[in-house]
Amino acid sequence: MLEYIVHQGVGKEYVVFLHGIGGTSKIFCKQLETFKKNYNVVTIHLPGHGRSPGVESFDEPFTIDLIVREVVEVLDEINIERAHFIGISLGSVVIHHLMQQNPDRVKSAVLGGCITRFTLFSNTLLQIGHAVKNIMPFMWLYKLFAYVMMPRSNHSISRKLFIREAKRMKRQDFLAWYRLTPYIKATYASVQEKASHIPKLYISGKEDHLFVESLYEDTKGDPSAVIVYLEDCGHVCNVERPTEFNRLALDFIYRNQNLPLRKVQ
């Protein structure tokens, strides 16, 4: 089972945090105490991160379906029927797929630095990375993408945090996650159809230059989606703008915490 921690807070509602590739739950250090004042918080380390099982420990191919099943298994272990989810970067991608596969488990979703698909430029970078990933240290590749995604001086704190945490990953785990990048577009393919009833708050930095335009285009047809852009902020918006992120997320979850379960036919 994935490594998880239940941070006991106030009330009966649960908020589940999911980090991005290379990150750990430490990227939510500026959220935990604030959210515990209103909710119980669950932090989960995705496969290959923290003390969670590495990708080679599974007796089946490593896929996004498998990741979602592992997250649901944690919910079952804690006896959480439905929860509010907060994801950053690829954590948001996992939540998108969770909403497609198990929409009845998601009460609301806050998706920070969300990726719905890659642009021509980012796809070109990924293809270059795929071509050289087996002949160069994976941390070189990770640092390259970290600097491309978060190039400005005001992104340095989040960039350094992600690079520092990624150093603890094993090479095979990083490469397994990297091989999933071509399937990211599919994780959003039917979200508007299968999860149209789930309230979604997208929080992105205006300087998240690789993803904000496609995010806007892809989500504008979803009546249950709200998008907020933070000024002078890059990809890891919960680290760069924690006060604004916390205020927006808490207000959104509070407004949607009493929604009844509604099945999609």
Beta strands in 30-112, from DSSP E residues, in sequence order: 40-44, 83-88, 106-112
Tokens of 4: 């998880």
CATH number, residue 75: 3.40.50.1820
Q: Which domain does 219 fall in, by range? A: 4-256
Mean pLDDT of 13-32: 94
Neighbours of 51 (CB within 10 A): 8
48: left (phi over 0), alpha (psi -120 to 50) or beta: left
CA 81, CA 74: separation in Å to the nearest integer? 11
Contact 17, 94 (CB under 8 A): no
pLDDT class of 131 with cuts at 50, 70, 90:
confident
Residue 111 maps to a domain = yes
In a domain? residue 27:
yes
Query: Residue for token digits 């920070």?
Result: 112
Q: For the ranges 6-10, 130-134, 236-240, 248-252, which has the lowest average pLDDT? A: 130-134
Residue 265 within any structural domain of the chain: no
Residue 264 lies in a domain: no
Q: What pLDDT is attached to residue 260?
A: 67
Within a domain: residue 122? yes
User: Of residues 83 and 123, which shows the higher confidence score?
Assistant: 83
For residue 124, count CB atoms less than 10 angstroms from its CB and return exposed for 0-12, middle for 13-18, buried for 19 or more: exposed
Residue 185 located in a structural domain: yes
| pTM of the entire predicted model | 0.92
131 part of a folded domain: yes
Is 150 part of any domain?
yes
Identify the helix (H) or strand (E) that includes residue 227: strand 225-230
pLDDT tens digits, 28-61: 999 999 999 999 999 999 999 999 999 999 999 9
Q: Domain tally for the chain?
A: 1
Place of tokens 């004042």: 37
d(CA 17, CA 3) in angstroms, rounded, equals 13
Least confident residue range of 97-106, 164-173, 191-200: 164-173
